[in-house]
Structure 1
Amino acid sequence: MATFTTPGTPEPVPLEMAESARARRRGLLGRDGIEGALLMSPASAVHTLGMRFAIDVAYLDRTLRVVAVRTMNPGRVGLPRPRARHVLEARAGAMARWGVRRGVRITVRDR
C-alpha cells in the first residue's frame, strides 16, 4: 500500500490506488468506511450513488495539485472538473485534517 502527504499532513496517510477501470467503477461502493484515502486515476468525476457514508473528494490535476475539494453525501452525482486528471476520496472531514485544500500538491510514495 502506498501513502501520501501534503505540507500540512502530520504523518503519511495510507493510500489505496484504483488504476483499473473496474477498480475506479467500484471506488468506495459497498464499504462502511476507509482507513486513509483512495486515489482514482485517471478520473475527473465521481458519484456517491449506493454509498453508505459521506466522502470528501479532492480533484487533482496532472501534477497532483488540488484543483477543488468538496464533500459529497450519499446519492449524489458530481460534475466532471475540466482540469482534473485524478480523484482522491476519503471519509468526510478527512481532507481538512490532512491539509488537502485547493492549490496544495500531494506527494505519493510507495511503502
Structure 2
Amino acid sequence: MTDHHTYGTSTHSAKALARLITDRLGLLLTERESDYRGVYYRAGGADSRIEVQPNALPGDDGEDDLYAPEHPAIRVLLLTTTPTPDAALQARLGSIEGLVHLNHEPW
C-alpha cells in the first residue's frame, strides 16, 4: 500500500516552500527541471518522496495547464508519497502556515 497526499499554497513560491520543508523536516529538496513540469523540487528515495511543484505546467500550445485543475487558485503543490501512512509527517506539514491539505489517496 502507498499513501499519497496533496497539499497546496497560494502564499509561498515553490522555492520558498522547498526551503520551509527543508527547515521543518531536515530534508534537502533538490531543484530539478522538466519540460513537462517546469522547475520543481524533490527529496526522497525509491519508497517515499516529497515534491514541490507549480500547479501551472507548461503546455504544448504555449498556454499553461494545471496539474490540479480542481484547485485553480492554488499556485504551488506539495506532493508526498510514503509506503504507509505517516502521521508525524502529516502533522509537521500541517504546521506550515499557508499550506492546505487538498487530497489523500491510499493506493
Assess same fold via TM > 0.5.
no
Structure of higher RCO (CA pairs closer than 8 Å, 6+ residues apart): 2
* TM-score for the superposition, normalised by structure 2: 0.28
* TM-score for the superposition, normalised by structure 1: 0.28
Between structures 1 and 2, the one with greater helix share: 2
